[in-house]
Structure 1
């Protein structure tokens, strides 16, 4: 990646709906070379996709819960079995293997406490789950920030 690619990525992180002409103008390129660069960034999987950022509360998901999960063992078979199931939970919007007191940290969105109870019971049934710690978000201070690219 070069300086122009970084400029393109910064612009698209700010507004993924820019037209190619608007993007080209913003990064001082003509439209054809700009489009070629964007297509290359997409084919190289630097740009993974485009999506709308939704207001969670307005679409019925007023509660965010950060859940730390510890497994009963750390063998490949246990982690693979756990991870293979987690990816199918629509309410789990992120899941990271972490270091520290727990093995995984998940971000879960639900309408309310009753909704979380349903998801929690499902998580408890996952293979090799030993311990679950839940942290309820009071309010969001920062979320969905852009990747801090440097030129």
Structure 2
């Protein structure tokens, strides 16, 4: 991947609906080479898809929550069960394995406190093997972007 490919990706991260003509102009290429590069980025897996960025609150999911989970044991079956169950939960937008005091950090969207309580009681607790749960509610966002920084 070269600098021009990264320019294409960043331009599409800013506006995934731009036409190839607009993309070509944004990255200073003619349309044919730009489209060829775009198709190669998709084929290689560097671009994995396109999605609409929506406002969660307007959608009805007003509570963004970070949930940190520590497992009781790190046996392979416990870990696999936890990860498999979390992958199936629509409320979980992201699940990261962490270093430090917790094993996982989840980014969760729910409609309110009652929905969060239901999520913990009826989705997380039944998994089993969970040693502790720490919760932080987001009350404001200073920065949120999907545009990668330039690595150079």
TM-score (ref. length: structure 2): 0.94
The residue that corresponds to 1:124 in the other structure is 125
The residue that corresponds to 2:140 in the other structure is 139
CA distance in structure 1 between the aligned counterparts of 2:42 and 2:128, rounded to whole angstroms: 36
The residue that corresponds to 2:28 in the other structure is 28
CA distance in structure 2 between the aligned counterparts of 1:10 and 1:143, rounded to whole angstroms: 15
Q: SS at 1:99's partner residue?
A: coil
1:14: Cα distance to partner?
1.0
Root-mean-square deviation (CA), in Å?
Answer: 1.2
1:39: Cα distance to partner?
0.9
1:67–1:108 Cα contact (<8 Å) kept: yes
Aligned residues: 151
Runs of 4+ residues deviating >4 angstroms = none
5+ long unaligned stretches in structure 2: none
Q: SS at 1:125's partner residue?
A: helix
CA distance in structure 1 between the aligned counterparts of 2:89 and 2:145, rounded to whole angstroms: 20
Q: SS at 1:58's partner residue?
A: helix
CA distance in structure 2 between the aligned counterparts of 1:144 and 1:69, rounded to whole angstroms: 25
CA distance in structure 2 between the aligned counterparts of 1:64 and 1:33, rounded to whole angstroms: 41
CA distance in structure 2 between the aligned counterparts of 1:82 and 1:144, rounded to whole angstroms: 29
CA distance in structure 2 between the aligned counterparts of 1:108 and 1:10, rounded to whole angstroms: 26
Cα deviations across residues 82-136 of structure 1 (Å, max 9, x unaligned)? 1011011101111100011110000111110001011111111113211111111
TM-score (ref. length: structure 1): 0.95
1:150: Cα distance to partner?
3.5
CA distance in structure 2 between the aligned counterparts of 1:118 and 1:98, rounded to whole angstroms: 25
